[in-house]
Amino acid sequence: MEILRPASGNLPLTAARARTEVLDRLAQKYDHQCRTSLAASNAVTLAINNTGAGDSEAKKTTYVALDEWRHGFVLAEGNGAAASPYVAEVLSALSSLPCSNSGTKVFMVTPTSGAYARARQELLRTSSAPTNPFTLTGVCMTQQTALLLHELIITSLSLEEALDNAVLTADALHVMPSLRERVIREVFLENDSADVEGDASAFAQVSVTSWRSIAMAVKQATRLESFLRAAIEQEKQASSTPSAILRQLVDVGSSDMAWNTLRHTAQLLAPLNFLSALSELQSATSGQMLALWIWLFGAASRSPLLDGNSGAISTSFLQRMECYVGEHFMACLVLDPRVHGAGLSVSGLRRARGVTVRVATALIPGFNENNFIRSYNDYMKQSGDFGEPGVWNAANTANPMEFWGDYEGDPLHNQLAIVAKTVCAYVPHTSSIEELWAAHARRSSSSSTEAATAEASQLHEKCTKVRHSVSVSARADVKSVVIRFQTLLEGENEPSAEEMLQSNAAAQDPSEQEGGALNLSVRTVLQSIQDGLDEDMAETGASTTNLDASWFDISSTGLDKIRETMEKFLSAAIQQ
């Protein structure tokens, strides 16, 4: 509490002093912590986040530096220029980065509105541009995931209709107590001790600012299908003058096609649910997110919702991957021991080795390819030093930085360890999917036009630093994230409907109750996320990766392997 006392003696703490003396001291303390932490880090990611907004409806850009342990510090705020990323502003923010170690590797992750490819040319360090500041760059994978979902919805009207029907059923359960009680009676038919009214909170309530709540509505509808259909029929019989929402429900409840579409939608959303959960964690790597993209690509290619349009979706996925998935993403896909190449075909694994060699050549002066290949092959085959007992235990692979730390300094494996720690230190997202969704849902309904003064902007920047410090300190750990997303992440061994409702009641998140689902349009929210793919593709030169579908194993076995790696990681992580 000492820091809350104004420096001017025993004078009372007024609002003015809180805005000046106390806030200044909090900001100075924050800056000191920032300098100390970043100066000791071997790798720093500059994350550019423009999901936030200032006092005006224009977006506000925040520059956050994350050290190799994923501790984040706000460096500066920008004005949210139309072109993202804005090179001059990036360089200005970078100039305030406190790195005492000249060998510190600096990375950049940014959303893009079409300016990324050109910014990468100006900012990425290469053999022909050795003085450029960034060792690795990439776009925000949560932004690109949302844009992939938008393309799926544009391509499949059935998908959009299923999401609308899921929201409808969730809303009906929220506003119709009689329907809710009928469903609970059906679910707990053989359990006379069930508390019908007390269990009402177990149903998902859709919020306009929460994508997770929409995904939960889909899961809820498919898990409770038989109970919902019976309850809807009972409501229909009991009502002489059905309400508008009941009439809509009756249409859905009596349609086998509508329920089939909901089931296919739940299957398609499975990789997105894991992406949503992973995006909540600071420890997520580009390799993990790329594996989930491959799963989403496979699920979309095989989904009946996209019959006749799978070719167009495949082309769109591959274009986005070709433009935005840098070679270091592919290297991380194989070198993150939690993923270990899951999602790659035999051909893809072979070609990924060449990609990783190119990444290593760029990162390591005096690169010894023979040693690197020997070490790489042992790692991929889990042989030699990587075949020792306990190496691949989930507890040992849960933290890739610690896993590879065991091999640093080893005559054979040192180069591989350096490359692996570098690509795993890169942070692939600037916000969680929930944060991205909430920001755009709010912005689409915002009408504020108040202009901010320079003084107000400086005050806002100080407040942002302090708020960020608090939010990072209180950031949810893996266990709490898994609890929140547990129902969405469950696969073949799903609990019973009774268990699902009981666990949902315990995992309700009050923050998701902001705003109702009235007039919620998934398409409208996703349309507000600016897509710069066409502009970035026009500025992107010929790729050395040449990604195509043959890189990926999108068979049922291949997709199951990705799910298993994610479940194994989350299971081990919550036990640490």
Query: Can you spell out the DSSP letters for 466-531?
Result: HHHHHHHHT---HHHHHHHHHHHH--TTPPPHHHHHHHHHHT--GGGGSS--TT--HHHHHHTS--
What is the rounded distance in angstroms from the CA atom of residue 415 to the CA atom of residue 372?
Answer: 6
Instruction: Tell whether 307 is covered by a domain.
Output: no
- Is 370 in the same domain as 336? yes
Instruction: Tell whether 448 is covered by a domain.
Output: no
Burial of 48 (0-12, 13-18, 19+ CB in 10 A): buried
| Total tally of structural domains belonging to the chain | 4
**Alpha carbon distances (Å) from 174 to 179, 201, 205, 496:** 9, 9, 7, 21
What integer pLDDT is reported at residue 470 of this predicted model?
41
Length of the chain: 576
Find the domain containing 382 and state its range. Answer: 312-426+544-573
Instruction: Tell whether 87 is covered by a domain.
Output: yes
Show which of 90, 117, 139 is a domain's final residue: 139
What is the rounded distance in angstroms from the CA atom of residue 545 to the CA atom of residue 549?
Answer: 12
- Is 8 in the same domain as 90? no
> Could you give the residue ranges of the DSSP H alpha helices within 239-343?
244-253, 256-279, 286-302, 310-324, 327-335
- Is 123 in the same domain as 215? no
What is the rounded distance in angstroms from the CA atom of residue 167 to the CA atom of residue 219?
Answer: 11
Contact by Cβ (8 Å): 292, 562: yes
**Bond into 111 cis (ω within 30):** no
- Please write down the long-range contacts of 222-227, taking CB distance under 8 Å and 24 or more positions apart: 222/259, 222/262, 222/263, 222/266, 223/494, 223/497, 223/500, 224/183, 224/187, 224/497, 225/259, 225/262, 225/263, 226/186, 227/183, 227/186, 227/187, 227/497
Residue whose token pair is 């290593």: 360
Instruction: Tell whether 459 is covered by a domain.
Output: no
Instruction: Tell whether 211 is covered by a domain.
Output: yes
- Is 110 in the same domain as 181? no
- Is 239 in the same domain as 260? yes
What is the rounded distance in angstroms from the CA atom of residue 444 to the CA atom of residue 519?
Answer: 12
Enter the DSSP assignment of 536. H
10 phi, psi to nearest 5 deg: -95, 15
Residue whose token pair is 């850009």: 61
> Token pair of 181, please?
């009680």
What is the rounded distance in angstroms from the CA atom of residue 518 to the CA atom of residue 520?
Answer: 5
CATH code, domain carrying 126: 3.30.420
- Is 504 in the same domain as 565? no
Contact by Cβ (8 Å): 319, 538: no
Show which of 139, 161, 186 is a domain's final residue: 139
Closest CA to 206 of 515, 521, 526: 515
Residue whose token pair is 């692939």: 428
Contact by Cβ (8 Å): 505, 195: no
- Is 46 in the same domain as 131? yes
- Is 398 in the same domain as 249? no
List, in sequence order, every residue forming a beta bridge with 157; answer none if it has no partner: none
- Is 159 in the same domain as 89? no
What is the rounded distance in angstroms from the CA atom of residue 500 to the CA atom of residue 438?
Answer: 26
pLDDT tens for the chain, 576 residues: list them.
444 444 555 555 555 555 556 567 776 777 777 778 788 889 999 999 987 644 444 567 899 999 988 888 888 888 766 678 999 999 999 998 876 567 899 999 999 999 999 999 999 999 889 999 999 999 999 999 999 999 999 999 999 999 999 999 999 999 999 999 999 988 887 565 555 454 567 798 899 899 999 999 999 999 999 999 999 999 999 988 889 999 999 999 999 999 999 999 999 999 999 999 999 998 999 999 999 999 999 999 999 999 878 888 999 999 999 999 999 999 999 999 999 999 999 999 999 999 999 999 999 999 999 999 999 999 999 999 999 999 999 999 999 999 999 999 999 999 999 999 999 999 999 999 999 999 999 876 654 434 445 554 555 555 555 545 544 443 457 888 988 998 999 887 788 888 888 777 666 665 555 555 556 789 999 999 999 999 999 998 877 778 899 999 999 999 999 999 999 999 888 877
What integer pLDDT is reported at residue 81 of this predicted model?
64
Instruction: Tell whether 445 is covered by a domain.
Output: no
Q: Where are the beta strands (DSSP E) in 85-154?
A: 105-110, 136-139
- Is 421 in the same domain as 550? yes
- Is 45 in the same domain as 121? yes
- Is 369 in the same domain as 404? yes
Q: How far is CA 338 from the centre of its chain?
A: 17
Instruction: Tell whether 206 is covered by a domain.
Output: yes
Instruction: Tell whether 93 is covered by a domain.
Output: yes
